[in-house]
Amino acid sequence: MDAIILQILNGLDKGSAYALIALGLTLIFGTLGVVNFAHGALFMIGAFCAVTLSRLLSLSHKVEVPGAVDFLGNPQTRDVPYIYDIFGESLGAGIIDWAVPLSILFAIPVMILIGVIMERGLIKHFYKRPHADQILVTFGLAIVLQEVIKYYYGANPIPTPAPSAFVGSFDFGALVGFEPGTIIYPYWRLVYFAFAALIIGAVFAFLQFTTFGMVVRAGMADRETVGLLGINIDKRFTIMFGLAAAVAGLAGVMYTPINSPNYHMGMDFLVLSFVVVVVGGMGSLPGAVLAGFLLGILESFASMREVIDIIPGINQVIIYLVAIIILLTRPRGLMGRKGVMED
């Protein structure tokens, strides 16, 4: 029993990342009908927003240490981040410590801006082109974005720690009445899951309970009619693209403490997220979220020692295997709508 709970918990954080990226992909696909292969790159750029902010915050200048001299007799210096000068030492250190959560505030405008520029500058011209062309141009864009990041940040993973308050693990087992020490779960992964749930909830609430969301949903169902009613649906869809980019970016920001960001992390997640979207059903938002968590948890179950002993290598292929089975038995995916991408 405790092993099962542990695997479900382990699956949640990866599942959260899959679900967030797949949600963004589905938003873009459902609104604009574009298959965005650059979505993984947006996730990666989000992660590098966190890297950038933590570097900016730690920018420092040299200050002489009074009274101390080094072995040559020169006054000793130490690096003092500018942020200490502004906020004082204790608050400044706290801000640096909380760089990753603070990056959320920094990443949202950046990601929305990037999303809107991408849609207006490039993807707009591809609505009428075949899906293969959309895949290809966004694939090219993903390569370019990835290489630009690589040029500025180098090819090595950059460790970006979580705030020290969330470092370490807590004993989940003891909390719910198991033997202490059986189910241990890192705090940050729990934070990640909670954050993902919050974002997913917010996106759904936004679509469900606001007028803007209602118009967007109407546009997803029948774009032309909404246009005929005199609503500028293109503008709203552009905003939705920005929003989807922000969702992917935030998923990336919060993922940095779990996995040190490097320039190809987006591509690694992209392939899996596409599988997730297809399993969930092209164009279905709840399907994407459900499939994300489902596949994340399945993946973590498949990596249990007991399972690997029976079917070796299953942990490597489980997601693809599930995708193949689902696609062949339920062509529309788990919750796909009728008439979406059924060529």
Partner 1 sequence: MFGLDKKDASLLLIVAALVAFAPFLLNPFPEGSAMAQFNAGYPDLMQRFVIFGIFAIGFNILFGLTGYLSFGHAAFLGVGSYAAVWMFKLLSMNVIPAIALAVVTAGVFALIIGYVSLRRSGIYFSILTLAFAQMSFALAYSVLTPITGGETGLQLALDDPRIFGSATTAEGNIPVPGLFGLEMRDSAELVFGSWVFTFNVGYYFAAIIMLASFYLSIRIFRSPFGMMLRAVKSNQQRLNYTGLNPRPYTLAAFVISGMYAGLAGGLMASMDPLAGAERMFWTASGEVVLMTILGGVGTLIGPVLGAGLIKYMENIISKINSDILHSWFAFLPDGLEDLIVTLIYPFIGKGWHLTLGIVFMLVVIFLPGGLVQGGQKLAALFGSKKAKDPKNATTEPAE
Task: Please give the residue ranges that form the binding site for partner 1 (CB under 8 A).
Answer: 35, 122, 125, 129-133, 135-137, 139-144, 146-148, 151, 267, 271, 274-275, 278, 282, 312-313, 316-317, 320-321, 323-324, 327-328, 331, 341, 343
32 or 250: whose CB is closer to partner 1?
32
CA distance linking residue 302 with residue 106, whole number of Å? 37
145 or 183: whose CB is closer to partner 1?
145
**Least distance CB 283 / partner 1 (angstroms):** 11
CA distance linking residue 156 with residue 261, whole number of Å? 8
**Least distance CB 315 / partner 1 (angstroms):** 9
**Least distance CB 274 / partner 1 (angstroms):** 6
**Least distance CB 291 / partner 1 (angstroms):** 13
**Least distance CB 334 / partner 1 (angstroms):** 14
182 or 337: whose CB is closer to partner 1?
337
306 or 343: whose CB is closer to partner 1?
343
Provide the 10 A C-beta neighbour count for residue 123: 21
Write the DSSP assignment of 225-291 as a string of letters: HHHHTT--HHHHHHHHHHHHHHHHHHHHHHHTTTS---TTHHHHHHHHHHHHHHHH-TT-HHHHHHH
Please count the helices (runs of H) and the strands (runs of E) in the chain.
15, 4
What do you get for the CA distance between the two ends of the chain, in Å?
44
Q: How far is CA 263 from CA 157, 260, 303, in A?
A: 8, 10, 26
152 or 170: whose CB is closer to partner 1?
152
116 or 122: whose CB is closer to partner 1?
122
CA distance linking residue 295 with residue 14, whole number of Å? 9
Write the DSSP assignment of 164-184 as a string of letters: GGG-SEEEHHHHTTS-TTSSE
> What DSSP character marks residue 126?
G
**Least distance CB 139 / partner 1 (angstroms):** 7
CA 337 from chain centre, in angstroms, equals 25
Q: What is the CA radius of gyration of the chain?
A: 23
106 or 274: whose CB is closer to partner 1?
274
1 or 328: whose CB is closer to partner 1?
328
**Least distance CB 18 / partner 1 (angstroms):** 14
With beta carbons less than 8 A apart as the criterion, state whether 237 and 216 touch: yes
**Least distance CB 215 / partner 1 (angstroms):** 27
CA distance linking residue 187 with residue 169, whole number of Å? 5
189 or 332: whose CB is closer to partner 1?
332
**Least distance CB 192 / partner 1 (angstroms):** 25
- 310 backbone φψ class: left, alpha, beta (φ>0; ψ -120 to 50): alpha
> 184-186 and 60-69 as β-strands: parallel, antiparallel, unpaired?
unpaired
